[in-house]
Structure 1
Amino acid sequence: MIAQIDALIEQSGSPKNPPEAASERTSLAAIIAGSNIPEEQRNVLLGVVVNAMSLQLANMTSAEADVIERCCNEVREHNDYSTNANGARLFDTVLLWLVRFIFNRLELTKGDDPTGTYLFERDDGSLPHEDELQQDFFRWVATYAAGSDLEPTNIASGRADIRLKSGPERLVVEVKREEKDCSFDALFKSYAAQTTDYQNVSIRLGVLLVLDLATPNREGTPHLTSLFEMRHVRRCNESQSRLILIVKVPGRRKRPSDLTKLAKAKRS
């Protein structure tokens, strides 16, 4: 069973890393096997992990895999990822579930999941607050990442939006909404300083999650692969850069059928 899990990990397409991080990944099944769970329960758990992991891999689209590969290639040379097992675990976890979150939110209808209604154009023209995205993503990630908490205080002498923890390390997800310019360059200029300040005492890896309200999606919703970008921040007198994964969540969306109505209205 351990060999099966290790084989699934190898098949996942995860980029190869320096020995420390690679060893952490390939020993995942051994960690489960070496836990304090009674042997008869451990065998059941191993089977569940195999099935859950194989289901994720079997149903992951090439677009999702491309985003994960691109971001991992960008972060793999960073010391807090390549030589810090907790750092790699945190980044990989938040990356995977961010990709799955965006996939989910780009697919589900308002009728089937009313919690995603805030992502669509409203009849009265009002715009949602960033709290709606923050709570939405927290509900999602807390289900998969044990130890996640919402708005913890005393983080960089302030309050963080979402924190994930692994051992002594933490990774903070900063959540914003943007109404004027949601280009990656503009988001970086506006929010990089705050996002990286939450990295002062732990791994220099973080996430900026932005609700894009800048432009009504009158031509349709952006492709998943266009919504993720890694950026480096180099602070004075620091030898190692800080990394931000910027993720945009399209807002003010229209249903596909509404796009047809809009196009016909323009022609008349």
Structure 2
Amino acid sequence: MAADDLQRLLVDRYGEHADAGDLTTSSLIDLVRDGADGVDGADLFVALIGDTRSGVTVPVAVELVAKGFDIVAMIEIAAWLGRGGNVPAPFVGTLGRAFLAKAADRDADYGTRAHALKASMILAQSDRSLLRRLQSDLLDIDLADDGDFLRHAARIAGAVLAHEPDDDLRALLGKLVEVVDAEDEASMELGLDAMRHGLDADAAETALQAFEGARGWFRRAEDAGDARPDATLYRRCLDALVAFQSGQSSPDLWTRIDEIRSAAFAYTAYLTTSDRPEDTTSWLGAKTQERVHWSMLALRLGALDTSLLKRAWLDAAAVIQDELLAVYTASRSFLRRGADGGLEAILRPRVVEVLRGELHSLALLDQWIEENAASGLLPAAAHLRDRVADAREAVVTHRPIEAADGSSPTAAIVELLPEASRSSALARVAAGMAILVETTTPLVVSELFETVTAGLARNPDYLADPMGRMLFDAVLWSSIQFVVMRGNVGVSTLARGRYLFERDPEKLPLEKDLQADYVEFLMGSPLAELCQAEKRDVGGGRVDVLFTFLRTKTVAELKRTDLKLTNDEVVGRFGLQKVSYDVTNVRFGILMILDLRDVGGGQPYLSERISVHHVTPDWGTSEHAVVLMRVQGRRETPSQL
């Protein structure tokens, strides 16, 4: 809301005589106390917080938190804060303490208290003093309190524990598992905590012990809760990791993968976006990103070749560990950062980020070796791939890795390559790692993904085909990352993007430059096993990029234009070619445009360049969804502009 919204709101409710500029804190409280119910109450809170006279209006909000808002208002207020609602820094602590006091008020209903506790946690993410107060209040919780409130408190305690290691909070969760109503939630949080320790371990025995402990907690959450698909999914992933790390490379790998995929399907359906906006800055996590990474896990596992058992077990374990970290980060590691600072870093596993990067770079190097094995440049390709496999196994099993001091296993293996090939291999790894780094702060990706998937809601294939939806969610996520990265990265970081800065009309890039860039990006992503460039015999033609998983196929068609066209006009000009590939596939896909309009060297804001369009071709009656993505060319660097 704008700063003058409070005045408009007061006039609408109380008439022209209600002038916010003339009212004191006490008179404002008297005026609005009886109108703080429901969604209107939440609107009033937002208006009070955003008003220019915050010294007068914020104390009114504090008073209403204590005595005015009902459960509906409190739910909406906590949701607003979770979506990034901004509270002036000087008032964060005061308002947070008011929410904590409300959470402790046992005369209020449990729902109001639960959402007040959530609101206090969100504010505490940017205020260390308030965070300490929140921890203290959590530790003082009475186990005889309302069971539903205690269940919610267990989730808040687990979210705080993920950021602030605290044996006392861990002990509190250990007590809450003995409360019947809170048992499943407390068990889930203890399982996540143990799993993080396993991912964070720097020794095989420590990791195995932590994973086994986490399995037990997830099993208890399953048994205590009527339906805990999240606990089932985590437990099945850890079953496979424990089996691998215990050396049990038994022939049941495909059965385990199938169980994980089935559980992922069930849980991603639960996580499918609702009509309600998602919390994007709360430590309670982001369902969108959880959903995408669980989908990615299922797709990557489903694409594995399980014919070579030992290598398949290693590949499966590497994929599970990599995606478990991504899911854990999405579900626990969002950071609220205000303009005035706050917590500058989140607590992530200190070792596991390095391990994840090492797994990623080794996978890229292995792919490069495989692609160049027949070139004659790598006479010992098989030996090199064995070395890569050994290094990956050491990472996954948390064993010390043999490499020179200050060097990574990837760098050590690159040193074994012929000198003429090293720069090519390093370029592939560097490009892929740039992708990984760029996507560690994907808030803009998440927001755009939400917008696009909301636009796809009317497409019958996207709604009715869970396999197709899962595949396209992963394709969308990676493709949006590509557009985001190309909007940010400069040529000094990634030379591949130089074509986007060519402004000479005689030297403008071609469609194939965008295609080569996009395909190389995909080859460094988890979708590498699921995509193929220049695939023939699709709808009678040759598609630029085909994505396939089991029986589901979707395409990305790439074009370029230097015409000044709106998004609708671009789809009108090129969309039917994309649609024509869908005759036997799902009726949705991507149209990516290399936009060579001369817009003065800049680029329109990202949300202006990604949109969903619905097209019904003249030759049929079926409606197709086309997701348009524009990659801006003919650019200047910001310093040149």
**Cα distance per residue 1:21-74 (max 9 Å; x no partner):** xx9997987996xx9788x86666533321133456754443222210011111
> CA 1:43 to 1:172, structure 2 compared with 1: closer, same or farther past 3 Å?
closer
- Is residue 478 of structure 2 the alignment partner of residue 97 of structure 1? yes
For 2:558, the equivalent position in structure 1 comes to: 175
- Contact 1:24–1:85 (8 Å) recurs in 2: no
Tell which structure's C-alpha radius of gyration is larger: 2
- Contact 1:181–1:187 (8 Å) recurs in 2: no
Q: Distance in 2 between matches of 1:215 and 1:77?
A: 35
Q: Distance in 2 between matches of 1:28 and 1:120?
A: 32
- Is residue 433 of structure 2 the alignment partner of residue 52 of structure 1? no
For 2:273, the equivalent position in structure 1 comes to: 15
In the TM superposition, 1:124-203 aligns within 5 A as 126-143=507-524, 144-145=526-527, 146-203=529-586
> CA 1:4 to 1:51, structure 2 compared with 1: closer, same or farther past 3 Å?
farther
- Contact 1:5–1:29 (8 Å) recurs in 2: no
- Compare relative contact order (CA 8 Å, sep 6+) and give the higher one, 1 or 2: 1
- Is residue 632 of structure 2 the alignment partner of residue 250 of structure 1? yes
Task: Give the share of equivalent positions with the same residue, in percent.
Answer: 23
Residue 257 of structure 1 aligns to a residue in which SS? coil
Q: Distance in 1 between matches of 2:298 and 2:624?
A: 32
Residue 94 of structure 1 aligns to a residue in which SS? helix
Residue type of the partner of 2:322?
A: V
Q: Distance in 2 between matches of 1:111 and 1:96?
A: 25
> CA 1:43 to 1:139, structure 2 compared with 1: closer, same or farther past 3 Å?
closer
- Shift of residue 93, structure 1, vs aligned partner: 1.4
Q: Distance in 1 between matches of 2:462 and 2:531?
A: 19
> CA 1:116 to 1:84, structure 2 compared with 1: closer, same or farther past 3 Å?
same
- Contact 2:292–2:473 (8 Å) recurs in 1: no
For 1:69, the equivalent position in structure 2 comes to: 450
- Shift of residue 138, structure 1, vs aligned partner: 1.0
> CA 1:61 to 1:27, structure 2 compared with 1: closer, same or farther past 3 Å?
closer
* Equivalent position to 2:622, from 237, 240, 254: 240
Q: Distance in 2 between matches of 1:117 and 1:165?
A: 30
Q: Distance in 2 between matches of 1:149 and 1:108?
A: 25
Residue 470 of structure 2 aligns to a residue in which SS? helix
Residue 639 of structure 2 aligns to a residue in which SS? helix
> CA 1:156 to 1:180, structure 2 compared with 1: closer, same or farther past 3 Å?
same
Structure ranking higher in helix proportion: 2
For 2:388, the equivalent position in structure 1 comes to: none
Q: Distance in 1 between matches of 2:295 and 2:599?
A: 46
**Cα distance per residue 1:172-225 (max 9 Å; x no partner):** 11100011123212211111111100001111111110000012344x322222
> CA 1:125 to 1:201, structure 2 compared with 1: closer, same or farther past 3 Å?
same
- Shift of residue 92, structure 1, vs aligned partner: 0.6
For 1:120, the equivalent position in structure 2 comes to: 501
Q: Distance in 2 between matches of 1:74 and 1:99?
A: 15
Residue type of the partner of 2:448?
A: V
- Contact 1:142–1:149 (8 Å) recurs in 2: no
Q: Distance in 1 between matches of 2:298 and 2:603?
A: 42
- Contact 2:292–2:477 (8 Å) recurs in 1: no
Q: Distance in 2 between matches of 1:256 and 1:135?
A: 25
Q: Which runs of 5+ in 2 are unaligned?
A: 1-214, 216-229, 235-263, 276-290, 335-439
For 1:86, the equivalent position in structure 2 comes to: 467
Q: Which runs of 5+ in 1 are unaligned?
A: 18-22, 260-268
Residue 611 of structure 2 aligns to a residue in which SS? strand
For 2:403, the equivalent position in structure 1 comes to: none
**Cα distance per residue 1:65-104 (max 9 Å; x no partner):** 2210011111123221111122102221111011111111
For 2:371, the equivalent position in structure 1 comes to: none
- Shift of residue 239, structure 1, vs aligned partner: 4.8
Q: Distance in 1 between matches of 2:584 and 2:615?
A: 16
Residue type of the partner of 2:493?
A: D
Q: Distance in 1 between matches of 2:631 and 2:485?
A: 11
- Is residue 612 of structure 2 the alignment partner of residue 230 of structure 1? yes
- Contact 2:594–2:632 (8 Å) recurs in 1: yes
**Cα distance per residue 1:117-159 (max 9 Å; x no partner):** 0001345752000100011111112332122111111112111
Q: Distance in 2 between matches of 1:211 and 1:63?
A: 21
Residue 160 of structure 1 aligns to a residue in which SS? strand
> CA 1:163 to 1:77, structure 2 compared with 1: closer, same or farther past 3 Å?
same
Q: Distance in 2 between matches of 1:124 and 1:228?
A: 25
- Contact 1:178–1:214 (8 Å) recurs in 2: yes
- Is residue 231 of structure 2 the alignment partner of residue 3 of structure 1? yes
TM-score, structure 1 normalization: 0.79
> Over the residues paired in the alignment, what is the CA RMSD in angstroms?
3.6
- Contact 1:205–1:244 (8 Å) recurs in 2: yes
Residue type of the partner of 1:127?
A: L
- Shift of residue 163, structure 1, vs aligned partner: 0.5
Residue 159 of structure 1 aligns to a residue in which SS? strand
Residue 53 of structure 1 aligns to a residue in which SS? helix
Structure ranking higher in strand proportion: 1
Residue type of the partner of 2:494?
A: D
- Contact 1:63–1:225 (8 Å) recurs in 2: no
> CA 1:231 to 1:28, structure 2 compared with 1: closer, same or farther past 3 Å?
closer
Q: Distance in 1 between matches of 2:586 and 2:490?
A: 37
Length, aligned pairs only: 251
> CA 1:4 to 1:175, structure 2 compared with 1: closer, same or farther past 3 Å?
same
> CA 1:187 to 1:44, structure 2 compared with 1: closer, same or farther past 3 Å?
closer
> CA 1:253 to 1:159, structure 2 compared with 1: closer, same or farther past 3 Å?
same
For 1:216, the equivalent position in structure 2 comes to: 599
- Contact 1:101–1:140 (8 Å) recurs in 2: yes
> CA 1:164 to 1:217, structure 2 compared with 1: closer, same or farther past 3 Å?
farther
